[in-house]
Amino acid sequence: MAHRRPRQGDRLDGFTLGARLHEGGMSAIFEATHPDHPFPLLVKLPFIDLGDRAEIVSFEMEQMILPRLTGPHVPGFIAAAGFEAPQPYLAMERIPGPSLLIRLRELPLPVEEVAAIGAKVALALAALHRQRVSHLDVKPANILFRPTPDGLRGDAVLVDFGLSHHGHLPDLIEEEFHIPYGTAPYMAPEQAMGQRDEPRSDLFALGVLLYQFVTGVLPFGEPLMLSGVRKRLWRDPVPPRRLRPDCPPWMQETILRCLEVEPARRHPTAAQLAFDLRNPDSVRLTPRATKLRRDSWLRVLERRVNLDRSPRRARTAATAHAAPIIAVAVDLREQTAPLAEALRASVSNVLRTLPGARVACLNVLLTGTLTGDAPLDEEGRSARVQRQAELRHWAAPLGLEEGRITFHVLEGSNAADALLDYAVANGVDHVVMGARANSMLRTMLGSVSGEVAAKAPCSVTVVRAREQAA
Amino acid sequence: MIAFLSDIHANREALSACLDHADRAGATRYVFLGDYVGYGADPAWCLRTVMARIADGAVAILGNHDEAVFRRGTALHGRAGEAMAWTREQLSPDAADFLKTLPLEYAEEDRLYVHADASAPEDWHYVFSAEEARRSLEATPARLTICGHVHVPRLFGLTATDKCTAFTPAPDSPVPLAPARRWLAVMGAVGQPRDGDPSACYALLDPGTSELRWMRVPYDVETAAAKIRRAGLPASLATRLFTGS
């Protein structure tokens, strides 16, 4: 069938096509404008005359999934037409600026920058996974950043949901093709075995990206055949520190944990990975952190021989519900012993039921203002150290091993704002805090817990010690 | 918004809960997919309710239990047969006459409503698997077939390459039915769910967006079960309502 290819200036359902941004074998992407949407748009157009099944099904998947996604970590959906229309299309918000692809020529990047990029991408994945979607094609080309007014890199935005899996929608790709789809260098081993409902496949792909950005090389090369992709089921990568001796042990630990063959041995959630990337001191180091050689040929052979070759399906993954990040705000100034204990009891109840949970103990060091703590001079720094010690003292009865609990002294002029900023930036799932006991202070300053409860992006538990009978 | 209710099975409590829910959700059209009676203790009330909705423009088609009311040769076995003998005694001749008027299938726009497999509606074949769904889909030109009979919500899709996909819908989660594909949507049961979830199941279709949502509605199971026991119907018909089995 002869079909005229769309070109700049064409009109489509009220959209005017602008410059062509990309043309692949099966589809084209154009800038676009629409009188009802006064911001930059992008229109994706599959070539219907070249009806490749994979392209059509992946277009259908993206058309189903994108309208259901919300938040800053995905491009906003605008409009779509399916294959029943003369020209199918998908219109969405255009995220200006290049993808991470452009950074490939600068590799390797400083470790701090890789950690910052990785944390942003992991937070974007956490937001996606909370919406029941696994991306399944995480790679530099599919990661962009929202521009911020100060020109710094803002939130990570994930694009191209053509290979994604939505837990509440039919998976057309799984049904249509019995071969795995994805991008070979970044594909998780379980994905190479046909499993499509594992959100931690995205953590593996991000681990490949972190490895690549730290060392400048891909951990599993660029296999052309599926058999080459499956090699990663038994052959572990060269440890990053061997290629880049200044890669700190915590970063190697984090990367190699992402690259574990069994999803259950990776970080339980993307939010926990983001947390580690933002808090290097909190990463619990294992022998993975410092190894300089790959596993012995005997172990590799053993893994290869014992490999479970059956297709992997429907293994349940940990969600944020099972492995939450819990932030406990401990107010060392006003807390009475009964409240400190009630707070501990509340946290330890959560920990008992959820072994995957981790705890961040927070305290806010107020700067300036009315009730301000000491300024951050020599004395201020010792105040921080003192508060850290007090937080550890409070937490000691919880008996948590390193890696499950971290301690943070935040700074700010307003306790509620500092706690809220922390909760947002670290993908916190649950805030636990005490109610301010002193009623005169509360009247004067307002309730911190009330404000946090009202504005937090997650659950907030406000703990109050049972009043003693007079 | 069109509400689809199947396999009511004389469960008054479940039917009223679903109708209330659908009314509140903005349903403007009602389609009843058969099996109004059998198993449950309120066949007369359920039929009256469906008849009243038909008077208001609803569509109703025939199910195998409904047919068994007036066609004595129809074989219903075990508990279903026992319950049918009881049901016949409860229903007036008018009710049986009403059931005789119901069609086996009903087509509107590009949709087909049928109780069981559309390739032979009068044979009441179950649609459990993708192969059974394909048989039904290939027998008619309808883009969207909606049926019941198996008491388990499912969605089957036929692709351009002739693959038949199977999907278990999540409650209250809209599934877009791409117009370029052909679909067979199996309703859960209003009055006797069998997918492990005891709440009543019905579905809402938005014909504008072509999105279908399977809803789960909690209802007063205790009362429905107590009535079954009081009527002297097999006790297992009461207990299964608590587990949705």
Cα–Cα distances (Å) from A217 to A34, A119, A208, A242, A253, in that order, read: 42, 20, 9, 12, 17
- Whichever domain contains A72, its CATH number is 3.30.200.20
What pLDDT was estimated at residue A2? 46
* Chain B residues bordering chain A (beta-carbon distance below 8 Å): 155, 157, 159-161, 163, 165-167, 169-170, 173, 175-176, 178-180
CA dihedral B80, B81, B82, B86 (to 10 degrees): 100
- pLDDT tens-digit series, residues A18-28: 999 888 767 78
What pLDDT was estimated at residue A302? 87
The number of domains in chain A is: 3
Facing A82 at nearest CB: one of B155, B167, B180:
B180
What pLDDT was estimated at residue B106? 97
Question: Nearest CA of chain A to the CA of B180: how many Å?
Answer: 5
Average pLDDT of the segment spanning A291-299:
91
A365 & A408 share domain: yes
- Domains of chain B: residue spans and CATH: 2-243 (3.60.21.10)
A40 & A173 share domain: no
What pLDDT was estimated at residue A350? 84
Facing A53 at nearest CB: one of B157, B161, B176:
B161
- pLDDT tens-digit series, residues A306-347: 877 665 654 555 566 678 899 999 987 767 788 888 999 999
Q: Tell me whether residue A470 is in a domain.
A: no
A260 & A180 share domain: yes
Calpha distance B216→B4 (Å, rounded) = 13
- pLDDT tens-digit series, residues A76-112: 999 999 888 888 999 999 999 889 999 999 999 999 9
Calpha distance B215→B204 (Å, rounded) = 7
Task: Report yes or no: A31 at the B interface, CB cutoff 8 Å.
Answer: no
Task: Report yes or no: A314 at the B interface, CB cutoff 8 Å.
Answer: no
What pLDDT was estimated at residue B173? 92
Question: Nearest CA of chain B to the CA of A49: how many Å?
Answer: 14
A57 & A106 share domain: no
Q: Tell me whether residue A312 is in a domain.
A: no
Q: Tell me whether residue A4 is in a domain.
A: no
Nearest CA in chain B to A52: B161
Per-chain mean pLDDT for chain A: 87
A105 & A250 share domain: yes
Asked whether the beta carbons of residue B178 and residue A168 sit closer than 8 angstroms, the reply is: no
By mean pLDDT, which of A234-243, A459-468, B165-174 is the weakest? A459-468
- Whichever domain contains A166, its CATH number is 1.10.510.10
What pLDDT was estimated at residue A318? 53
A370 & A277 share domain: no
Asked if residue A329 lies in contact with residue A453, where contact means CB atoms within 8 angstroms, the answer is: no
A339 & A248 share domain: no
By mean pLDDT, which of A20-29, A202-211, B81-90 is the weakest? A20-29
Distance of CA B167 to the CA centre of its chain: 18
| pLDDT band for position A271 (cuts 50, 70, 90) | very high
- pLDDT tens-digit series, residues B173-196: 999 998 888 999 999 999 999 999
Full domain range(s) for residue A424 = 325-463
Q: Which helix (H) or strand (E) holds B239?
A: helix B235-243
For A198-220, the DSSP string reads -TTHHHHHHHHHHHHHHHSS-TT
| Bridge partners, A409 (sequence order) | A363
What pLDDT was estimated at residue A443? 61
Asked if residue B66 lies in contact with residue B117, where contact means CB atoms within 8 angstroms, the answer is: no
Q: Tell me whether residue A317 is in a domain.
A: no
Q: Tell me whether residue A6 is in a domain.
A: no
What pLDDT was estimated at residue B12? 97
Asked whether the beta carbons of residue B170 and residue A171 sit closer than 8 angstroms, the reply is: no
Q: Tell me whether residue A245 is in a domain.
A: yes
Q: Tell me whether residue A310 is in a domain.
A: no
Cα–Cα distances (Å) from A176 to A90, A164, A180, B28, B162, in that order, read: 21, 14, 11, 36, 9
User: B78-93: buried (b, 16+ CB within 10 Å) or exposed (e) per residue?
Assistant: ebbebbbebbbebbee
A39 & A113 share domain: no
pTM assigned to the model: 0.84
Facing B180 at nearest CB: one of A83, A170, A176:
A83
Question: Nearest CA of chain B to the CA of A193: how many Å?
Answer: 20
Facing B157 at nearest CB: one of A63, A83, A170:
A170
What pLDDT was estimated at residue A1? 42
Could you give the percent of chain A with pLDDT greater than 70?
A: 87
**Which pair of structure tokens corresponds to residue B203?**
């579905």
Task: Report yes or no: A176 at the B interface, CB cutoff 8 Å.
Answer: yes
Q: Which residues contact A388 (CB under 8 A, 6 or more apart)?
A: A407, A409
- Whichever domain contains A434, its CATH number is 3.40.50.620
